[in-house]
Amino acid sequence: MTDRLSFGPTSTVFVNELSQENLEGIVSPPDSGPGGTRQEPAELFLLESSKAPRPQLTEFLRRNTSIELLNLSESTDPFSSMVELDHQKIRGSIILLEYETSSDYEGIVDRFLAEGVSNAELCVLFTTKSSKLYRAIKGKRMIKIIAASSLISVPDELPDGEMQIPDKELGLVAAVLSDFLDNSKNSGASFVFDSITELIRGERWEQVYSGIKQLIDLLTVPNATALFLANINTMEPRFLGALHGAFALQLRLDHEGLKAVKVPAH
């Protein structure tokens, strides 16, 4: 389990087994104990899947919002296995996903984020309020959403944890991304960049491409995996061609399904 779970800096880890009866209440945080250590203790709860009816578990997580779910009974590679890879092979990769407008790219992104969650990684979606993907992912547990909007002028965080930022502000996107990277050094992180032309200001595609290159430079660290989305029906061919040269791992989703177009040699 250590390859899927990292507690980061902590003084003590308490391990407890939950029964179905325990799912009825609210869990109190562990006592830090004597000594006044600066690092807070962590607590790991074990629950057998057969003893956790999904509706009851969902209600338990709703009441205990500080508890994160790591389901060891689920596949850890729901995304990467679609192109005959595994999570360790794509971990640390920066991926270009080209898709057709009519394709189910929301389902592919959902699998990518689910893979990050199942491997105990921080999962973040950069998107816009008007995106289909925003509506598809909104409300899913353990997914942090950064939504760009032309209706706001300063960053703001909603009660559910969603962060709203002004659109077309590359500096702000980069600053938020840097914070996430700093906070996930011990656990790893998975990022999705949707509606990229709404996140980066540019009158010409070359300016947007330059912004993408800056984000790629930030993401070039071993513990970060990123997925950039490109709609082949709406993106200028020269822009798409330039992107092909920037990504070592490229996937394509069309009427034939998802396939790997370019995979780096290991």
- Structural domain spans, the chain: 1-73, 80-262
Residue that is written with structure tokens 């850890």 in the block? 76
Q: Is the pLDDT of residue 142 over 90?
A: no
Across the strands, what pairs with 250? Answer: 96, 262
pLDDT at residue 199, as a whole number: 93
Quote the pLDDT of residue 33.
53
Lowest mean pLDDT of 55-69, 87-101, 156-170, name the range.
55-69
Tokens 């962590």 found at = 42
Does the pLDDT at position 24 exceed 80?
A: no
Tell me the mean pLDDT in the region 170-198.
93
Confidence band (pLDDT; 50, 70, 90) for 3? very low
Using one digit for the tens of pLDDT, what is the confidence trace for 97-115?
A: 999 999 999 999 999 999 9
Largest CA distance in the chain: 64
pLDDT at 76: 80
Question: What's the CATH architecture for 80-262?
Answer: 3-Layer(aba) Sandwich (3.40)
**pLDDT at site 2:** 44
**Helix (H/G/I), strand (E/B), else coil: 216:** helix
Give the Å distances, CA to CA, from 166 to 56, 89, 144, 153, 200: 38, 35, 17, 5, 10
Cα 67 to Cα 60: distance, rounded to the nearest angstrom: 9
Mean pLDDT of 8-19: 69
Write the pLDDT tens digit of every residue in 200-242.
998 899 999 999 999 999 999 999 999 999 999 999 999 999 9
Q: What pLDDT score was predicted for residue 176?
A: 97
**Average pLDDT of the chain?**
86
Percentage of the chain beyond pLDDT 70 is 85
Confidence of residue 20 (pLDDT cuts 50, 70, 90): confident
Q: Give the span between the Cα atoms of 218 and 244, in whole angstroms.
A: 19
Closest to 95 (Cα-Cα) out of 209, 195, 219: 219
Select the more confidently predicted residue: 16 or 85.
85
Q: Residue 62 carries which DSSP code?
A: H
The pLDDT, as a whole number, for residue 249 is 96
Type of residue at 217: D
Task: Decide the pairing of beta strands 156-157 and 189-193.
Answer: unpaired
Task: Quote the radius of gyration of the chain (alpha carbons, Å).
Answer: 20
5 pLDDT band (50/70/90 cuts)?
low
